[in-house]
Amino acid sequence: MNYDVIVIGAGPAGSIAAKTAAEKGLNVLLVEKRQEIGVPVRCAEGVSKEAISRFVDVDRKWIAAEVKGAKVYSPDGTEVQMTEEMAGDEVGFVLERKIFDRYLAKLAGRAGADVVVKTTATGIERGKDGLKVNFRRMGEEFSEEAKIIIGADGVESRVGKWAGIDTTLKTDELEVCVQYLMTGIEFDPEYSYFWFGNEIAPGGYVWLFPKGNSTANVGIGILPKMAKLSAREYLDNFVKENYSEGEVIEMVAGGVPVKGPVKTAVADNVMLAGDAARHSDPITGGGIANAMKAGFFAGGVAAEAIEKGDYSKKMLAKYDELWKNDFGKSLHRNKILQQKLIKMDDKTLNTLAHSIAGYDLQEFSVKRLVTELIKKNPKLLWDLKKVFI
Ligand SMILES: Cc1cc2nc3c(=O)[nH]c(=O)nc-3n(C[C@H](O)[C@H](O)[C@H](O)COP(=O)(O)OP(=O)(O)OC[C@H]3O[C@@H](n4cnc5c(N)ncnc54)[C@H](O)[C@@H]3O)c2cc1C
């Protein structure tokens, strides 16, 4: 075997997995198909402070802005405010992911992992003891062997399919997103903003994450099945109405899995982490924090498996246990909420917002917001009570 572990994909999940495994003394290869790690950025870059500081020392170089709360708007413009005075914050930093993703890969390299870019994994073949991974690099084909593969290859993951793990997404399980980096617009830079409504963003929402004074990520996620227009048309309409004074200096498009996590993220010799395992949140679409957590758990379990000389699905099931115990329950809960929310008409969304309008919820989390809504609207939200309270 050339390697103990090959990690495919150098996003937050892959880099943290490679770093963790290398720190435990494993021989690790981290492979990224893009020529520059972190570019292009397909992300609004909002993340909780707590989640980030669990895995890396915070470095101002990759923080674009710090927010103290969120303002959420219903279709008729009713505002609900949440501030981050209590624990449980879900957004606090707005990252500079171009720098952040590269920083995480550097940490993996410094821990001893081999890092290669512009190299695409094209398939895996089973050998007697481990796996052979085939790669393409600038027209050249080659392969490497490893005892364990960690598939951290994001929303378009192929590793799961190659390993026989069900990662399929139906059209209503993938949010289609478009985002502009806008400058010259006015907003309070201490807040992130979210707008809901079937005319604004069917099956999703519009967001604004500050990246300093007058510059922000303004984006949209929608479920195409519910939409009359394309995501870009909805976003253009929103921008025209609210931020017509601004200039668009960058544009990205991408997908976010909102299916909820895979039932199992392991097969013999293989673990999936982050978006590859559908670890992103079905409500917020946020996936950075869970990707880092999953990478950490996968790297740790890889080390245990190598030590025991056992790379079977049964051994790697410990990884499933770890991520399910950590964030699996909240993904499950938020999937139920997402199914309920996407069926609500604008009138109901307004009714909910009116019931807590003017509140400052003192905590920045979906759970806190929904708990308050259930208290005020017990009949409307009776079915959420058993999962949220
Ligand atoms: C528009 C948009 C806005 C978002 N906003 C937020 C947000 O504000 N907050 C948040 O927490 N999350 C957000 N997300 C989600 C977040 O970006 C992802 O959940 C997160 O990046 C997942 O990390 P990951 O490491 O699993 O995958 P990724 O970051 O996608 O990394 C996967 C890597 O694998 C590489 N790769 C893929 N296939 C191969 C292959 N065959 N061989 C080699 N390399 C390969 C890719 O090039 C990529 O670099 C957003 C997503 C989108 C699309």
Backbone angles phi, psi at 17, to 5 degrees: -65, -45
Q: How far apart are CA 166 and CA 350, in angstroms?
A: 38
d(CA 112, ligand 1 centre) in Å: 23
Query: Is the C-beta atom of 42 inside 6 A of ligand 1?
Result: yes
Instruction: State residue 86's pLDDT score.
Output: 41
Instruction: State residue 282's pLDDT score.
Output: 95
The mean pLDDT of 66-88, rounded to a whole number, is: 82
pLDDT band for 90, please (50, 70, 90 cuts). Answer: low
The mean pLDDT of 45-67, rounded to a whole number, is: 92
DSSP state of 45: -
Q: Encode pLDDT of 196-219 as tens digits.
A: 999 999 999 999 999 988 999 999
- Could you give the percent of the chain with pLDDT greater than 90? 84
Q: Pick the atom of ligand 1 nearest to 37's CA.
A: 49
- H/E element holding 321? helix 313-323
Q: Is the pLDDT of residue 243 over 80?
A: yes
SS3 of residue 157 by DSSP: coil
Query: Is the C-beta atom of 260 inside 6 A of ligand 1?
Result: no
Residues in contact with 306: Cβ distance below 8 Å, sequence separation at least 6, in sequence order: 4, 5, 26, 147, 148
Residue labelled with tokens 């590269």 = 102
Tell me the pairing of strands 191-195 and 28-31.
Answer: unpaired
The mean pLDDT of 136-156, rounded to a whole number, is: 97
Per-residue buried b or exposed e for 362-380, using 16+ beta carbons within 10 Å of the residue's own CB: ebbbbbbbbbbbbeebeeb
Closest CA to 10 of 120, 147, 96, 111: 120
Q: Is the pLDDT of residue 87 over 70?
A: no
Instruction: State residue 240's pLDDT score.
Output: 98
d(CA 154, ligand 1 centre) in Å: 5
Q: Is the pLDDT of residue 129 over 80?
A: no
Q: Pick the atom of ligand 1 nearest to 101's CA.
A: 29
d(CA 180, ligand 1 centre) in Å: 17
Closest CA to 176 of 141, 202, 150: 202
Tokens of 331: 């993904």
Is 383 in contact with 340 (CB distance < 8 Å)? yes
Specify whether domain 3-65+90-168+259-336 bears CATH 3.50.50.60.
yes
Q: Encode pLDDT of 305-364 as tens digits.
A: 999 999 999 999 999 999 999 999 999 999 999 999 999 999 999 999 999 887 777 666
d(CA 11, ligand 1 centre) in Å: 6
DSSP state of 118: S
Query: Is the C-beta atom of 120 inside 6 A of ligand 1?
Result: yes
Q: How far apart are CA 19 and CA 32, in angstroms?
A: 14
Per-residue buried b or exposed e for 88-105, using 16+ beta carbons within 10 Å of the residue's own CB: ebbbbbbbbbbebbbbbb
Instruction: State residue 387's pLDDT score.
Output: 84
The mean pLDDT of 250-272, rounded to a whole number, is: 96
Q: Is the pLDDT of residue 292 over 50?
A: yes
The mean pLDDT of 165-177, rounded to a whole number, is: 95
Instruction: State residue 122's pLDDT score.
Output: 98
Query: Is the C-beta atom of 203 inside 6 A of ligand 1?
Result: no
Instruction: State residue 63's pLDDT score.
Output: 96
The mean pLDDT of 102-127, rounded to a whole number, is: 97
The mean pLDDT of 32-44, rounded to a whole number, is: 95
Domain boundaries, the chain: 3-65+90-168+259-336
Question: How far is CA 144 from each of CA 8, 131, 173, 234, rounded to the nearest angstrom?
Answer: 12, 8, 34, 45
d(CA 341, ligand 1 centre) in Å: 25
DSSP E strand stretches across the chain: 3-8, 28-31, 46-47, 63-66, 69-73, 79-83, 93-95, 114-116, 120-126, 131-137, 140-151, 174-183, 191-195, 205-210, 215-222, 247-257, 266-267, 270-272
User: Which phi-psi region, left, alpha or beta, contains residue 273 (left: φ > 0; alpha: ψ -120 to 50)?
Assistant: beta
Query: Is the C-beta atom of 275 inside 6 A of ligand 1?
Result: yes
Nearest CA to ligand 1 atom 52: 43
DSSP state of 62: G
Instruction: State residue 85's pLDDT score.
Output: 57
Q: What is the model's pTM?
A: 0.95
Instruction: State residue 147's pLDDT score.
Output: 96
Nearest CA to ligand 1 atom 10: 286
- Please indicate whether residue 86 or residue 36 has the higher confidence score (pLDDT): 36
Tokens of 17: 């997995």
Instruction: State residue 234's pLDDT score.
Output: 98
Is 24 in contact with 303 (CB distance < 8 Å)? yes
Q: How far apart are CA 323 and CA 259, in angstroms?
A: 16
Q: Which of 19, 43, 136 to mutate to test the pocket of ligand 1 (most atoms within 8 A of CB)?
A: 43
DSSP secondary structure of 228-248? SS-HHHHHHHHHHHH-TT-EE
Instruction: State residue 88's pLDDT score.
Output: 42
Q: Which of 69-73, 240-244, 246-250, 253-257 has the lowest mean pLDDT?
A: 69-73
Mean of pLDDT over the chain: 94
Tell me the pairing of strands 69-73 and 79-83.
Answer: antiparallel
